[in-house]
Structure 1
Amino acid sequence: MSQSFLVSLCIVALSFGVHGRQTTVTPKPRFVPLRPAAATSSVELTLGLPATNIEGLHAALYDVSDPKSANYGRHLSKAEVEAFVAPKPDSVQAVNDWLAQHDVHPEVISPSGDMLRINIPVPKANALLGANFTVFKDQHSGTTLVRTLSVTIPDDVDSHLQFMYPTTQFIMPVNQSPRFEAVNPPKASTRRQSLPSICSVDVDPECLEDFYHIPTAPANASGNSLAVSGYLNEIASEDDLEISFLAFRPDVTTTPEFSVVSVDGGVTSGSGTLEASLDIQYTVGIATGVPTTFYSVGNPFADGFIDLVNFLLAQDELPLVLTTSYGFNESDFTGAEALAESFCNAYAQLGARGTSVFFCSGDNGVYSFSFNSLCDATDFGPTFPSTCPFLTSVGGTQGFSPEVAASFSGGGFSNMFARPDYQAAAVDSYLTRLGGQFAGLFNQSGRAFPDVSAQSVDFITRISGGSSALNDITSGSNPGCGAQGFPTMDGWDPVTGLGTPDYEKLLALVTGLGA
């Protein structure tokens, strides 16, 4: 039945008579076709246009990010970034003319104009793309999604279109909540003196401040700001944050507040959920006095991540930090490399304007986000966007005496993005010492991750209902669910990166006091 259904899709697609470059995919067996998308329904598609000078943006980003450069810290203006990524006029004309022939009128959704969005009835989408949009079910998550197995882009439009999503891409958001158990919270008291003994059992904000030498005094620099992104209907609660501060930051007399901004219809209120509560209670709990905003994004798919970046890029003032605890499997972008590149370039725009972007490296060791219980993967699986070279990927550690690698810390090498020059020396040294171990299981020339790491287990959370400035981690590995994983070593490694932060040393390094 399934085979005859797929054959009928091909026949219908050919009947539309669209001529041009055809892309046809065979999805993973987990995606099962259910029925053709209803003619009365519509599809929302994002179109990416090639940037005018993306190499120039990359060069500018590296220039302002290199401490050895005379332009270090001299971030680009909003207009300067937009000039690099704005599409060429002939691309805009070609795409708009093509859409107009079908009476489709796009909305510009990015500040530079390099991304458009259309919302059209299914029959019109099928005619436009020579497609047959179908409802599929992901047997792993139970999620249904509308995709097509084939699209055709006219020859005179193809070179002017970077990507169109979602069409043939079966990219699923990772829904992997932190593992937890209920514990009795400590009683409120004055600031504790014996942190090492307490932190041997659980981790709270005071443990991290003490161990990583993070100052407890409120930050007073002008322009300080921090953004936390949330997906999958996650939300944090002010009440939970207040109780958390009473227990874990008794030295702070007034509990700081955080703002909530909705993107794509994200939730803005409700009982605190696990991931959002963890993220907010530890960002606000450690970055004392830093204004923090929680961005609740209603769309957990790839275009939702891009929508958040475009929302931020449209602002005149950006947060200094954007941190995200969600991600994708890089392998899901196979065949959609142009989408991954555009995704990555969006973060490059944020970086060029002065926002430090942080992503988790993953929770299943070398086996990406969503391994199966059999651990029968034929190679190591990198995560995304951690493999994007324009952001900072953060791995996991555990314990304090000593601090060692967490076995689930995601890490490895990209199969899509080449290793950037700034990683060459550290990663080449690791690979030399690794020798031929795991040969064929990973791409030795790929972007290596994570970059750094931090504590990642035993966090107490309240829920209603330069390498000289880092602590090198040299014990542990990241087998995930399997029997093998990359070992930690002196210097950089694909388990903990360059190590965990020491705030005092980092401050001296970036201000030149350590010279």
Structure 2
Amino acid sequence: MLAFLSLPLIFLWFGEAFSSLSPFILHERRSHIPSGWFLERKHPASAVLPLRFGLKQSNIHNLEDYLYDISDPSSPNFGRHWTPGEVVKTFAPSAESVTVVQEWLIDNGISKERMRVSPSKGWIEVDTTVEEADQLILADYHVYTHESGQEHIACEEYHLPEHIAPHVELVTPSVHFDAVIRPRPMTRDTALMKSDITFVNSTYPGVGHCDTQISLDCLRALYKFNYSPIASGSNSFGIVEYTPQTFNQSDMDLFFTNYSIPELVGRPPFQISIDGGYQQTFNQSFDYVGESQLDLQYGMGLVTSKLNVTLYQVGDAVNPNTSFNNFLDALDGSYCTYEGGDDPALDAIYPDTQPGGYDGSPACGTAKPAAVISTSYGYNEADLTPFYATRQCNEYAKLGLMGVTILYSSGDSGVAGNGQVCLNDDGSQSTTGTRFNPSFPGSCPYVTSIGATQIVAGNSVNDPEVAAARVTASGVFYSGGGFSNVFGLPDYQRGSVASYLKNFKTDNFTSAAYNSSGNSRAFPDIAANGAAYVVAAAGEFILEWGTSASSPTMGSMLAMINDARIAVGKGTIGFINPTIYSALFQTAFNDITSGNNPGCGTEGFTCSAGWDPLTGLGTPNFERLKELWLALP
């Protein structure tokens, strides 16, 4: 939540015309410069800033209530999903907010001709000089340089007049230090890297070797998942990939030939290009094809050829900042401008004028959301400001209102963050940190976070699974999970989290290592196998591990539950968390009671009876889930 902090009154006079001043108050402040960045120099006063004022959304405080009203199986409105028009109308900022902010800008010398108000009235943008911005919001803009050489423009804090602050959610660019240095803006949740590839000389389509090689047959046997779609014309399942990650059709054909699904040989997914997304051919090595091949081979294979999977291919190959927000822009036209629009410090801004970049208009409401959408990428929650994360999390809630199920993998670093970094006491991240580092968007209470399990060596598909774990010379993989430092505990999770914290015992870390308040969002919600998937990539069969495998596997099952409901005239399941945490659905999951998720110098959390922060409620029993969901309205 946005905190408005009291400061001594600061009066700045901008000329005699401005006669109704109110005191300035602190709106946002950054506590530290992120690791690896250094203050380089003051930004030139004449430089231009694309200043954006994100206006407060109407009814945003009721968002959770609206979502629960249609998602709680005990509600009389269960399943009565909203139309996109209803969502836009309900959350549009008030006309008063637009007028008040515009008048303030005019009083401070910004002519109305310089302002741009979005069609949804969600934000006001004006190109200012740094000098104007410094005076307008009492900021002090500097250039920061990363140890890699990348530069970033930001300020340490900014202020707004007291009468303006209630109308503005956030201002960008400002303290939101969201520049990301990784080759991709998020890390894909696949623990296996190139140096860790296991080549498979022979593959087993049956269930006799599922402890060492997971196949489509293994997953169907593990989760009683034998279903053939019958309502595909009205159903949809989407998988999201970020260029330059790409699939190769010859690898797809190799996989489906080996697993005897001739109907899928030569058949690509239905691709929707977002912001120049395409199937690149300049690099077909594992690092560039491993994620897409895993997601699509299992997503498509499990739903069979009767449902054409939608591939959302996002971003050109040269822009390093293509983000979840760019994808969400394409799904929801109102989100493109919601609360200030995209953050140029993190989100890719189009047209992209770099050589080889996508120079078209940014995707905005151009892609229809699938009923179930799986994404196998993620940030560390601490990579983002709470404002930015909350803004995006609210959009997942709006998609839930429209009947969309959003799945994200929970991460592969146990209680640590991507790259095995942990939190320091000041909130910065390092490999020597001692506090647990939750992932995002898995920590958002409006998505379903998917953890990973595995079959114990020597066991069969009929034996209980355990939390996924793998340690090799090149790295480790443990199912990600823990407690958010940003989001509060959702009502649907209260009983499960309270029970776990009451019974959880550990000697290897203290309560100071994580948010042990009992009042924060916990993740993951559920789990599926994520160990030793046989994947055709770069012309070879290899084994891949990760929650990246678990998410599309779970997504395929939920897509088939939608199919069964649609076939009898019912709607999609939408936001599933209030349903799966209800007492009725506890019989639909295989409880995982063995394993832990080390990180940050500790053994992490341990599995227990009921929900735990490694495998959530457990793995699915598809037949039981289908039966229960078919019984709901």
Separation in 2, partners of 1:286, 1:117: 46
Match of 2:435 in 1: 379
Whether the aligned pair in 1 keeps the contact of 2:243 and 2:279 (CA below 8 Å) is no
Match of 2:187 in 1: 175
Match of 2:269 in 1: 258
Separation in 2, partners of 1:186, 1:205: 18
Unaligned stretches of 5+ in structure 2? 1-11, 16-20, 334-364, 423-429, 470-477, 540-584
Whether the aligned pair in 2 keeps the contact of 1:409 and 1:478 (CA below 8 Å) is yes
Whether the aligned pair in 2 keeps the contact of 1:175 and 1:232 (CA below 8 Å) is no
C-alpha offsets along residues 173-213 of structure 1, whole Å, 9 cap, x if unaligned? 4436732344445669xx94x3132x222223332233222
**Which of residues 410, 433, 450 in structure 1 aligns to 2:503?**
433
Whether the aligned pair in 2 keeps the contact of 1:16 and 1:130 (CA below 8 Å) is no
Whether the aligned pair in 2 keeps the contact of 1:235 and 1:296 (CA below 8 Å) is no
Stretch deviating more after TM superposition (436-445 or 115-124): 115-124
**Which of residues 61, 84, 87 in structure 2 aligns to 1:81?**
87
Separation in 2, partners of 1:155, 1:128: 13
Separation in 1, partners of 2:448, 2:532: 23
SS at match of 2:533: coil
1:168, CA displacement in angstroms? 1.1
Separation in 2, partners of 1:481, 1:219: 47
SS at match of 1:462: strand
AA aligned opposite 1:470: F
Separation in 2, partners of 1:452, 1:353: 22
1:40, CA displacement in angstroms? 8.4
Separation in 2, partners of 1:118, 1:241: 48
RMSD: 3.4
Pairing 1:458–2:535 present: no
Pairing 1:329–2:380 present: yes
* Closer/same/farther in 2, CA of residues 183 and 413 from structure 1, 3 Å limit: closer
Whether the aligned pair in 2 keeps the contact of 1:57 and 1:81 (CA below 8 Å) is no
Pairing 1:67–2:83 present: no
Separation in 1, partners of 2:128, 2:534: 47
Match of 1:273 in 2: 289
1:185-224 counterparts in 2 under 5 A?
A: 185=200, 192=205, 194-197=206-209, 199-215=210-226, 217-218=228-229, 220-224=231-235
* Closer/same/farther in 2, CA of residues 266 and 148 from structure 1, 3 Å limit: farther
**Which of residues 450, 468, 472 in structure 2 aligns to 1:394?**
450
Match of 2:466 in 1: 404
Whether the aligned pair in 1 keeps the contact of 2:188 and 2:376 (CA below 8 Å) is no
Match of 1:501 in 2: 620
Stretch deviating more after TM superposition (498-507 or 324-333): 324-333
Match of 2:329 in 1: 310
Pairing 1:58–2:64 present: yes
Separation in 2, partners of 1:452, 1:429: 16
Pairing 1:294–2:309 present: no
AA aligned opposite 2:251: D
Match of 2:543 in 1: none
Whether the aligned pair in 1 keeps the contact of 2:70 and 2:80 (CA below 8 Å) is yes
SS at match of 1:244: helix
Stretch deviating more after TM superposition (90-99 or 157-166): 90-99
Percent identity between the aligned chains?
33
Stretch deviating more after TM superposition (416-425 or 244-253): 244-253
Separation in 2, partners of 1:169, 1:79: 30
Whether the aligned pair in 1 keeps the contact of 2:278 and 2:313 (CA below 8 Å) is no
Whether the aligned pair in 2 keeps the contact of 1:249 and 1:285 (CA below 8 Å) is no
1:423, CA displacement in angstroms? 0.8
* Closer/same/farther in 2, CA of residues 34 and 461 from structure 1, 3 Å limit: farther
1:422, CA displacement in angstroms? 0.7
1:60, CA displacement in angstroms? 1.9
Match of 2:153 in 1: 146
AA aligned opposite 1:330: E
1:457, CA displacement in angstroms? 2.7
* Closer/same/farther in 2, CA of residues 338 and 293 from structure 1, 3 Å limit: same
Pairing 1:283–2:355 present: no
Separation in 2, partners of 1:307, 1:247: 36
Aligned residue-pair number: 491
Separation in 2, partners of 1:156, 1:459: 57
Pairing 1:159–2:166 present: yes
Separation in 1, partners of 2:297, 2:45: 46
Separation in 2, partners of 1:153, 1:165: 13
* Closer/same/farther in 2, CA of residues 372 and 310 from structure 1, 3 Å limit: closer
TM-score (norm 2): 0.69
Separation in 1, partners of 2:200, 2:229: 25
Separation in 1, partners of 2:586, 2:63: 26
Pairing 1:447–2:521 present: yes
Whether the aligned pair in 2 keeps the contact of 1:174 and 1:369 (CA below 8 Å) is no
Whether the aligned pair in 2 keeps the contact of 1:259 and 1:292 (CA below 8 Å) is yes
Pairing 1:106–2:133 present: no
Unaligned stretches of 5+ in structure 1? 1-13
Pairing 1:320–2:371 present: yes
1:21-40 counterparts in 2 under 5 A?
A: 21-22=25-26, 23-25=28-30, 26-36=32-42
Match of 1:9 in 2: none
1:482, CA displacement in angstroms? 2.8
* Closer/same/farther in 2, CA of residues 212 and 168 from structure 1, 3 Å limit: same
Separation in 1, partners of 2:50, 2:373: 27
1:512, CA displacement in angstroms? 1.9
Stretch deviating more after TM superposition (353-362 or 175-184): 175-184
* Closer/same/farther in 2, CA of residues 202 and 79 from structure 1, 3 Å limit: same
AA aligned opposite 1:412: G
C-alpha offsets along residues 287-324 of structure 1, whole Å, 9 cap, x if unaligned? 222431223145665x9323322321235953101222
AA aligned opposite 2:377: Y
* Closer/same/farther in 2, CA of residues 300 and 117 from structure 1, 3 Å limit: farther
C-alpha offsets along residues 96-132 of structure 1, whole Å, 9 cap, x if unaligned? 4445643543362xx8443555666656655554444
Separation in 2, partners of 1:122, 1:207: 59
C-alpha offsets along residues 426-455 of structure 1, whole Å, 9 cap, x if unaligned? 221111111576423222221111101112
Stretch deviating more after TM superposition (120-129 or 501-510): 120-129
AA aligned opposite 1:358: L
Separation in 2, partners of 1:239, 1:279: 15
Pairing 1:364–2:413 present: yes
C-alpha offsets along residues 64-121 of structure 1, whole Å, 9 cap, x if unaligned? 111222222111111221122111111122334445643543362xx84435556666
SS at match of 1:389: coil
Separation in 2, partners of 1:79, 1:174: 31
AA aligned opposite 2:144: F
SS at match of 1:76: coil
Separation in 2, partners of 1:273, 1:99: 49
Whether the aligned pair in 2 keeps the contact of 1:329 and 1:370 (CA below 8 Å) is no
**Which of residues 254, 263, 282 in structure 2 aligns to 1:243?**
254
1:380, CA displacement in angstroms? 1.8
1:16, CA displacement in angstroms? 11
Whether the aligned pair in 2 keeps the contact of 1:364 and 1:481 (CA below 8 Å) is no
Separation in 2, partners of 1:361, 1:88: 36
SS at match of 1:377: coil
